[in-house]
């Protein structure tokens, strides 16, 4: 029995499979969504809407940028309540495998994770057939130089500057994220059965003589474990507290910085530095944010002026042409 076939069948997806049966079709359902008949709003960009936007962005961003930039420049790097930082260059703490190379359960004091660290810590998971505590590449590469600051008096012995090593870590890190394993008073017993990271000079339970700043809750260790986003960074090392409002924290004079060199940087072509800085409502000295606001505001304002000139020129040309016609 012959079957008729026409172009409509091709559009609909082919002829029916059998006489009298339902027709097969690839045509979408006749709904507002599938037929793209939903109500929509499309902005119409005109000179009256675009130009004010550029000018408003410029007028808002430029004063904010100037304020931030001036505030940053007013932060003096040797006076007031002083924070001592160490800085590293060309060290990529933001590498994906490096960032993942840690065991947060182990760092939180979990006993099972202490003896059986996560596989994310490889190849710094075990050493000498013992689990490493703390495991991972981040902990293994911890900064361990020692910095000491002295004031050199006239004809006298150098006076050491008191450097406070507690209060440098985030409260949430110190009190929530990092915990020593449960157990008795002897911290060494709590870490029994583990070994130190490969590059460390001493085990984690010997980082400090102060029991409130030892083990996983050591603040130097906690600060290092908060990875930096850029290859050039600084991390808080010590706090120099101001003892009197009548005397500066660091009086004018000559200072001597004693560095116990333990942390090599030649392997990654890096550089080390020490920074003394005060802070303001926006943190430490960093002019980038102010410069970024000024640049964006200036570009927006300049674009607004250019577009205003172009609009004025072509609008006058259009009016002249209409009069001529």
The full DSSP string for 247-294 is: S-SS-SSEEEEEEE-----GGGT-EEEEEEE--BTTBS--THHHHHHH
Distance, in Å, from the CA atom of 103 to the CA atom of 111, rounded to the nearest integer, reads 12
pLDDT of residue 13: 45
The radius of gyration computed from the CA coordinates of the chain, to the nearest angstrom, equals 33
Distance, in Å, from the CA atom of 121 to the CA atom of 200, rounded to the nearest integer, reads 16
pLDDT of residue 278: 80
Contacts of 141 (CB under 8 A, 6+ apart): 199
Residue 108: count other Cβ atoms within 10 Å of its Cβ: 15
- Find the Cα–Cα–Cα–Cα dihedral 226, 230, 233, 238, rounded to 10°: -10
Contact 128, 198 (CB under 8 A): no
Distance, in Å, from the CA atom of 15 to the CA atom of 194, rounded to the nearest integer, reads 75
Reading the chain (325 residues) residue by residue, the pLDDT tens digits are 444 545 444 444 445 555 555 667 788 888 888 888 888 887 778 888 888 888 999 999 999 989 888 887 776 644 768 899 999 999 999 999 999 999 999 999 999 999 999 999 999 999 989 999 999 999 999 999 999 999 987 767 889 999 999 999 999 999 999 999 999 889 999 999 999 999 999 999 999 999 999 999 999 999 999 999 999 999 999 999 887 766 778 888 889 999 999 999 999 999 999 998 887 666 666 778 888 999 999 999 999 999 888 888 887 666 555 544 4
- In 3-state terms, what secondary structure has residue 149? strand
pLDDT of residue 184: 87
pLDDT of residue 190: 95
Contact 25, 8 (CB under 8 A): no
pLDDT of residue 284: 63
Q: What is the pTM of this model?
A: 0.68
Q: Half-sphere exposure of residue 222, counting CA atoms within 13 Å on the CB side?
A: 25
Among residues 131, 113, 114, the alpha carbon closest in space to that of 122 is found at 131
């Amino acid at each position: 029995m012959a079957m008729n076939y026409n172009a409509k069948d091709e559009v609909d997806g082919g002829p029916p499979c059998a006489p009298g049966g339902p027709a097969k079709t690839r045509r979408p359902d006749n709904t507002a969504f599938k037929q793209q008949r939903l109500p929509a709003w499309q902005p119409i960009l005109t000179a009256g809407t675009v130009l004010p936007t550029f000018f408003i962005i410029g007028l808002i961003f430029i004063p904010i940028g100037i304020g931030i930039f001036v505030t940053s420049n007013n932060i003096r790097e040797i006076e007031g309540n002083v924070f001592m930082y160490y800085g590293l260059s060309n060290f990529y703490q933001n590498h994906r495998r490096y960032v993942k190379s840690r065991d947060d359960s182990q760092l939180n004091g979990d006993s099972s994770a202490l003896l059986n660290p996560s596989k994310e810590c490889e190849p710094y998971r075990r050493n000498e057939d013992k689990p490493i505590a703390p495991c991972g590449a981040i902990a293994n590469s911890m900064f361990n130089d020692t910095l000491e600051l002295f004031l050199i008096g006239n004809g006298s012995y150098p006076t050491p500057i008191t450097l406070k090593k507690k209060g440098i870590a985030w409260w949430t890190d110190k009190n929530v994220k990092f915990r020593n394993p449960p157990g008795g008073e002897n911290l060494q017993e709590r870490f029994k059965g583990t070994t130190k990271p490969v590059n460390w000079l001493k085990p984690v339970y010997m980082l400090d003589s102060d029991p409130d700043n030892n083990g996983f809750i050591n603040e130097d260790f906690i600060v290092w474990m908060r990875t930096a986003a850029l290859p050039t960074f600084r991390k808080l090392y010590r706090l120099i507290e101001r003892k009197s409002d009548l005397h500066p924290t660091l009086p004018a004079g000559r200072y001597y910085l004693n560095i116990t060199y333990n942390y090599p940087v030649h392997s990654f072509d890096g550089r080390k530095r020490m920074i003394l800085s005060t802070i303001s409502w926006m943190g430490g000295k960093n002019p980038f944010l102010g410069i970024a606001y000024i640049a964006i505001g200036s570009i927006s304002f300049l674009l607004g002026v250019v577009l205003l000139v172009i609009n004025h020129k072509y609008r006058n040309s259009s009016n002249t042409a209409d009069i001529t016609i």
